[in-house]
Amino acid sequence: MQLLAAGRDLYPGTGAAALSVRKVAERAGVNLGMFHYHFGSKEAFVRALLQSLYESMFADLQVATSAASDPVSGLRAALKVIARFARDNRVLLRRLLVDAAAGEAPAVEFLAANFPRHFAVVVGLVVAAQRSGRLKPLPIAQAVTFVAGAVASPILLGSAIVESGLAPQQLAERFADEVLSDHALDERIDLALSALAADRP
């Protein structure tokens, strides 16, 4: 829908509090009456915007993991989907986290309802891989936060530093290719899974 596409363009720069219904309608090329007919309020619109984005990712996640032949392959596939989603929506996701920290209800409610969904998929795959003897029997929180730190932190935190102009020039020039490219994401996932792999006798 045009309104949701317009919201995806505007939300990263405004956040929920400053998002203008009028600007959304103008960007979408529709009148305000159409906005209110479909969504009723700005808060409902922000919820629908975030949910539509998430559901697309979660559908891809389910397809990727269901096609995997074993838990480690499933975990690798899940991390690829999540990493690409985070990369492609990194500015919006950073804004979402800022909004949640500020107590904006749509952001807080969205994270509370949805973060556990993909987290549960990843945890389930880690547990299954540990039970099969493919991954070290680390505490689940340790294993999952290690992977998240290796894969997602450079996307969200690293890109924020680069995009703000605070990173050294040499890093900034190489960041997109060496950190955010598909190849770089896959390489980082492989490194993280190698670190978690069970020791072979």
Residues 55, 64 contacting (CB under 8 angstroms): no
Residue 134's nearest CA partner among 40, 197, 59 is 197
The two structure tokens encoding residue 144: 């999952």
Nearest-angstrom CA–CA distance, 10 and 42: 13
pLDDT tens-digit readout, 2-14:
999 999 999 999 9
Q: Give me the chain's average pLDDT, please.
A: 96
pLDDT tens-digit readout, 153-173:
999 999 999 999 999 999 999
| Cα-only R_g, the chain | 19
Nearest-angstrom CA–CA distance, 131 and 129: 5
- CATH code of domain 48-196: 1.10.357
Q: Compute the average pLDDT of residues 21-46.
A: 93
Residues 6 or more apart in contact with residue 139 via CB below 8 angstroms? none
Residue 132's nearest CA partner among 78, 193, 197 is 197
pLDDT at 200 over 80: no
Bridge partners, 43 (sequence order): none
Residues 6 or more apart in contact with residue 112 via CB below 8 angstroms? none
Handedness of CA 178, 181, 187, 193 (dihedral sign): positive
Nearest-angstrom CA–CA distance, 27 and 156: 27
Question: What is the reported pTM?
Answer: 0.94
Kindly list the distances between the CA atom of residue 95 and the CA atoms of 16, 46, 75, 178, in Å, as whole numbers in the listed order.
Answer: 9, 12, 27, 24
pLDDT tens-digit readout, 57-110:
999 999 999 999 999 999 999 999 999 999 999 999 999 999 999 999 999 999
Confidence (pLDDT) at 199: 87
Task: Match 């989907």 to its residue by tokens.
Answer: 81
Q: What angle do CA 82, 86, 91 make, to 5 degrees?
A: 165
